[in-house]
Amino acid sequence: MKKKLKNISKQLKGASKLHAGQAKKIDNMIKNKSSALKMKTSPALAKLSTSCKSAAKRKFKVYPSAYANMWASKTQKAGKC
């Protein structure tokens, strides 16, 4: 991971002034190893529980749809299933 970031930083420094600022940020991330390199996980990427999926399947005619998944994720966040 460090090698990839160093390579990206090197390429950005050669591109332009705007990208050189981005390269400095990456270099600072490499220096401050503690929390900078940790990837943030999004709650949107959390898997739906099986109970919420089955409730969505009962509620909607077509389950793998945007509306059904939205409803299932909202009910899961609310703790209803």
Question: CA angle, corner 45, sides to 79 and 30, nearest 5?
Answer: 130
- Convert the pLDDT of each residue in 20-78 to its tens digit: 777 777 777 777 765 545 556 666 667 888 999 999 999 999 988 999 999 999 999 88
Domain boundaries, the chain: 2-36, 43-78
* Contact in structure between 57 and 81 (CB atoms under 8 Å): no
